[in-house]
Structure 1
Amino acid sequence: MFTKPEDFAKSGLNFALFFANTTFDGVERLALLNLAATRSAFEASMSNLNTLLGAKDVPSFVAIQKELAAPSLEKGMEYSRNVIAIASETKDKIAKEVESKVAETNAKVSGLVEKALESAPAGSEVAVAAVKSAIKTANEAYEGLNKAAKQAAEVAEASVAAATSATLKAANVAAPKAAKKAA
């Protein structure tokens, strides 16, 4: 329980440091992913350009493009999945810590309120009940918001997965049609 204001301040500072470190870790992972993706895309582009320059006629050029398009799409989808995984892991770490700190703080505040209410003067039962009701309502509101945020994140992740799948299917259908038109 917080017995001194310094303890409360130290707890807040520790949480701020955790939040900053977790965020910086996520940003660092994204930066490394972006550098690797950029290097890979550049190398693939140069290789693909050399391959396309070797085409003898339009049908062979289209066939080569078709062969080169699928791996590029796969790499793009893999990059997207990695970005989502990094963001999701970072969000989960922070959410878990927030839940832990909120529960810990609620317990400490409830303990302090109980102590204060025990020494409340006679006849203050209505005020005591109002304070307890306010704490209960605040906790229920937090739980409701937390549940809604989790559901929104799950819906967003499911939407991204569905869009990824649809994109890959559309690309696989479009490539053969383009090859037929060119031939």
Structure 2
Amino acid sequence: MSAIPQQVLASQKASLDKLIAVQGTFFGGFEKLVDLNLKVLKATFDEVAQKSQEAIGVKDPQEALAFASGLSQPSAEKAVAYSKHVYDIVSGVQTDLSKLAEEQVAQGQQQVSEAIEQFAKSAPTGSESAVALLKSSLATATSAYESVAKASKQAQEAAESNISAATNATFKAATDVAEASNKAVKSARRA
């Protein structure tokens, strides 16, 4: 068998391996989301059953007000926590896909570089400037890709920082609302 068909077969096998890796990454993320949703659903059913039992035991309006105000804080915190878990799963899938893409680009760059070297070895005399142009173009493309990848990583880090800040602000707001609600309940009880 000649070298070219072997290279084609190797390239096809590598492409199939990458496709399987991408599918595995997507399936793993989907599996994590399903698992998270099942856990949230089970916890919600358990909490509804518990809160229903507590609601049956409420005897006067002050207890009802206290009970109602106690429901808001945990719900807000749980919603924020759920959103954070979903974001973490999606971010993990994105990171894995980025790594796979970087590997694919690096492999492609290596193949192009090897092809240019093969061309340079078999090129006729006087084609040195064309080979130099090809090598320069590859270096420029590689540099441009690295710049875009670096900017992308910085944007992802900034987004993660912003989400973290928003999550903390939401938790603080939920806590402030719960504290204000508890103060209102205490004031109503005193009155």
The answer to whether the superposition gives a TM-score over 0.5 is yes
Q: Within 5 A, what are the aligned runs for 1:1-183?
A: 4-181=7-184, 183=188
Structure number with larger C-alpha Rg: 2
Aligned sequence identity (%): 37
How many residue pairs were aligned?
A: 183
Alignment-mate amino acid for residue 30 of structure 2: V
For structure 1, which runs of at least 5 residues remain unmatched after alignment? none
Q: Secondary structure at the match of 1:4?
A: helix
d(CA) in 2 for partners of 1:148 and 1:46?
Answer: 49
Offset at 1:63?
1.6
Long gaps (5+) in structure 2: none
User: What is the CA-CA distance between 1:181 and the residue it aligns to?
Assistant: 4.1
Q: Is the 8 A contact 1:52 1:65 kept in 2?
A: no
After the TM superposition, which segments of 4 or more aligned residues of structure 1 sit over 4 Å from their partners? Answer: none
CA offsets per residue over residues 94-142 of structure 1, 9 Å max, x none?
2222222322331222012112122212222332222112111211121
Quick check: 2:33–2:89 contact (8 Å CA) kept in 1?
yes
One-letter amino acid of the structure 2 residue matched with residue 91 of structure 1: Q
Partner secondary structure for residue 69 of structure 1: helix
Q: CA RMSD in A?
A: 2.1
Deviates more, 1:70-79 or 1:110-119: 70-79
